[in-house]
Amino acid sequence: MGALTGRNLLSLAELSPKEIAELLNLARDLKVGKLKPRTDKTLGLVFSKASTRTRVSFSTAMFQMGGNVLDLNASISQVGRGEPVQDTARVLSRYLDAIAVRTFAQADLETYAQYADVPVINALTDLYHPCQVLADLQTLQENFGDLKGLTLTYCGDGNNMAHSILLGCALTGVNCRIAAPEDFQPLPEVVEQAKALRIDPNSEITITPDPQAAATGADALYTDVWASMGQEDEADDRLPRFTPYQINDNLMKLANPQAIVLHCLPAHREEEITESVMEGPQSRIWDQAENRLHAQKALLVSLLGLL
């Protein structure tokens, strides 16, 4: 994994298919305790958005390896008082060994990466959520083995999750179907980027308003909240548009009998996913959440050169 040492992760598009495969294998080995890297390095968390899984999983990953974490919440640092990102990035580089940034604009994340001298990790922006999709791919791999040729269907808003799912699937040979209302589909430029990155030019990338067609024969059904952070005031207006995209028992019947269910959490039960599906035998949501720890530990080990 030496090729990743010192690099940033702003989007999955920055990884090669070989690098993603190596990260997933490393995450598997870390999860079962085959490898136990140690470090005294310090990770900084610069989060402008609320976080449970990302904050806790990154922190736990560092603590389990003997490292340190500084949680630089915007409300308790100069970032929240308007200090320019380029100034913050330069200063934090003198103190920290890596910076995980959770913010709104991808451009802000890119500014951190431009001015920081240490690895910068996208811990979520409005455009991408790469760390989540590494955990998603790890969960698929645990359940099915080889990823190539699987079909993942995502139902809901064509948001940052949909964008990173498109890229992750393209780089691992997973067929990807995104079912979303016409006005809420993924950005065309991200769709084209995913098509260009496909390791198998014949793998499927489908964007459709038809959730039933997208779910038919799928190996995994995936969803996210219908109004992401910063869109809460749109939630009531979005509800009638997205109701047909709910993952429920009827939609599950269209998927493969062995299909699994994924959700990046937090979930609004009985909105984007029903209680019966979320708590049902095909749900792998809690494994998926746990894998945030292992996938991100693999990423930290690789970027910090701990092996």
Whether 78 is catalytic: no
Residue-wise DSSP of the chain: -GGGTT--BS-GGGS-HHHHHHHHHHHHHHHTTS-------EEEEEESS--SHHHHHHHHHHHHTT-EEEE--GGGSGGGGT--HHHHHHHHHHH-SEEEEE-S-HHHHHHHHHH-SS-EEES--SS--HHHHHHHHHHHHHHHS--TT-EEEEES--SHHHHHHHHHHHHHT-EEEEE--GGGPPPHHHHHHHHHH-SSTTS-EEEES-HHHHHTT-SEEEE--SS-TT-GGGHHHHHHHHGGG-B-HHHHTTS-TT-EEEE-S---BTTTB-HHHHTSTTB-HHHHHHHHHHHHHHHHHHHTT--
Given the residues 132, 141, 246, 296, select the one marked as catalytic.
132
66 touches 40 (CB < 8 A):
yes
Whether 131 is catalytic: no
CA distance 171 to 153: 16
Given the residues 131, 169, 176, 264, select the one marked as catalytic.
264
CA distance 231 to 304: 35
Report the Cα–Cα distance between both ends of the chain, in Å, rounded. 8
Q: Supply φ then ψ for residue 245, to 5 degrees.
A: -100, 10
Given the residues 102, 163, 238, 284, select the one marked as catalytic.
102
CA distance 44 to 143: 33
Residues in the chain: 307
Whether 224 is catalytic: yes
Whether 90 is catalytic: no
Given the residues 129, 177, 263, 294, select the one marked as catalytic.
129
Whether 264 is catalytic: yes
Given the residues 224, 238, 288, 294, select the one marked as catalytic.
224
- Give the active site residues: 102, 129, 132, 224, 264, 292
